[in-house]
Chain A
Amino acid sequence: MKHVIATETQEVAGQSPNFLLARFERLVDWAVNASRANSLWPMPFGTACCAIEFMATAASRFDIARFGMERQAFSPRQADVLICAGRLPFKLAPVIRRIYDQMPQPKWVISMGACASTGGIFDNYAMVQGIDTILPVDVYVPGCPPRPEGLLYGILLLRKKIQGESLFDGVSRRDEHPLDERGLRLSPQAIDEISEPFGNSVHQFRSA
């Protein structure tokens, strides 16, 4: 009898030092992520033609209700995903920042279209060159404007990303606050390394 118990213990120990705990964590992650990913409530922030495509995505033919997103949360307090559809002028930068700050954790951001992602054709004095200089962005949807299929693909990518998250790895996924008073969330060197010179300029980098 004593021998049998010892064998079982050895087998358990052979798999993982924290076998039961790890299984429990995986179970919790699976349940939490499934419920999060399957009931994303979008906060639409539509400023331009991308918003028209977003409306098409939300309407009956493409129907994002299929992904548990039928409830458009026009209050940031009840929203999970901020979808910025359209170009963002500097005058709206503090507005979208405040909306993002008002959303409860966990929260995600989809940057829809070329202008929201990079400034697009609006490489000028009035336009934010990519909302990732204001907010942390999870999924970029390219296109000008993206078709509803494109946005749906972006939403599916976001669901996949959510399902890969874990409550227990101790990683802060969304850095809320800028590094310093310049308002950047990455160091200028890191931004230049991952970004091409943009617009018509070969001299102006994102961090400049």
Chain B
Amino acid sequence: MNPTVGALRATFGDAIGRTLVARDGDSIVYVRADRLRAVLQWLRDTADERYDYLVDVTAVEYRDGERPLEVVYFLRSLARRVDLRVKVELDPAGELVVDSVEPLWRGADWLEREVYDMFGITFQGHPDLRRILMWETYAEGHPLRKDFPLRGRFSRAEQVRQALNISPEANYSLEELSIADAQDDLPADMRERLARGERGKIPLSD
């Protein structure tokens, strides 16, 4: 068991739930959802811990409908070469909301967008929470949930129709389409549109 687990329990008390050791030897700590941001901040900033690298954020929904959804944070301390997994349980019957850790690790931006896209879990405080794999007008739900049919909810013809109506540029903001370094070389009208925050037009959105 990773010694961090004991230190976490001493610091956060009953905000830390059960702990276990995964088959690959990493420790798993369950944390109450409302204390998640504080726990992760503590893990990142405490001198003895220094989990400075967020490897991945993902989620799990088990086939057993009784079990809650889990959001999993894979942490690594690059200096100490230690791994830790932090999990948060969410009741699928209730609201799927958890605090965003994007303020702690910039890299969490796209990871949390992917979890949102695939599982429908909302990350509070995320600066730009929208779909990242499926297109923005995708209306069939969140594909990795267990209640999502393998072939999607719509008929194939409807899926083709909707897909052909995607505007490919609409998946990206104009900032993402341009190169930040080229900002000065852009034509004046485009710079003005970027400054206004204009986005590509999304058909079918109304």
Give the interface of A toward B (CB within 8 A): 90-91, 93-95, 97-98, 123-126, 128-129, 133-134, 181-184, 188, 199, 201, 204, 206-208
| Of listed B134, B140, B162, B164, residue having the most chain A CB within 10 A | B164
B164 touches A134 (CB 8 A): yes
> What is the CB-to-nearest-CB distance from A172 to chain B, in angstroms, rounded to a whole number?
21
Interface residues in B93-148 (C-beta closer than 8 Å to A): 134-135, 140, 143, 148
CB-defined contacts of A98 to chain B, threshold 8 Å: 168
- B166: chain A residues at CB < 8 Å are 90-91, 93-94
Q: A204-B156, A208-B157 are in contact. Are A94 and B151 (CB under 8 A)?
A: no
Distance in angstroms from B203 CB to nearest chain A CB is 10
The answer to whether B159 touches A123, judged by C-beta atoms less than 8 angstroms apart, is no
**Complex Cα spacing A128 to B71, Å:** 30
Q: How distant is the Cα of A93 from the Cα of B134 in the complex, in angstroms?
A: 13
The proximity string for B residues 35-56 relative to A, scoring 1 for CB distances below 8 Å and 0 otherwise, is 0000000000000000000000
Interchain CA distance A90-B156 in the complex, whole Å: 11
Measured CA separation A133–B166 after assembly (Å): 16
Q: Is the CB of B156 within 8 A of A133?
A: yes
Using CB atoms, name the residue of chain A closest to B167.
A94
Q: Say whether, besides A91-B166, A94-B166, A95-B168, A125 and B157 are in contact (CB < 8 Å).
A: no
B188 within 8 A of A: no
Contact status of A182 and B163, CB under 8 A, knowing A91-B134, A125-B151: no
Q: Using known A-B contacts A124-B151, A125-B140, A125-B148, determine if residue A93 contacts B163 with beta carbons closer than 8 Å.
A: yes
Contact A90 B155 (CB under 8 A): no
Can you list 21 pairs linking A and B with CB atoms under 8 Å apart? A90-B166, A91-B163, A91-B168, A93-B160, A93-B166, A94-B163, A94-B167, A97-B164, A124-B152, A125-B143, A125-B148, A125-B159, A134-B160, A134-B164, A182-B158, A182-B161, A183-B161, A184-B157, A201-B151, A207-B156, A208-B155
The interface residues of chain A lying within 8 Å CB-to-CB of B195 are none
- In the complex, how many angstroms separate the beta carbon of A82 from the nearest chain B beta carbon? 16
Given A94-B168, A208-B157, do A123 and B163 touch, yes or no (CB 8 Å)?
A: no
Query: In angstroms, how far is the closest chain A Cβ from the Cβ of B174?
Result: 18
Which of A93, A182, A188, A204 has the most chain B CB atoms closer than 10 A to its own CB? A93
Give the docked Cα–Cα distance between A125 and B138 (Å). 11
Instruction: Verify if B79 is at the interface (C-beta below 8 Å from A).
Output: no
Docked pose: A129 CA to B160 CA in angstroms: 9
Report the minimal beta-carbon distance from A189 to chain B, rounded to whole angstroms: 13
Query: Which one, B159, B167, B171, contacts A90 given CB within 8 A?
Result: B159
- Quick check: is B165 within 8 A (CB to CB) of the other chain? yes
- Please tell me if the beta carbons of B151 and A204 are within 8 angstroms of each other in the complex: yes
B107 to chain A, nearest CB (A): 23
B150 at the interface (CB under 8 A from A): yes
Q: Whole-angstrom distance between the alpha carbons of A95 and B166 in the complex? A: 9
Distance in Å: Cβ of B168 to nearest Cβ of chain A: 5
Q: Which 3 A-B pairs have the closest CB atoms?
A: A125-B152, A90-B163, A93-B163
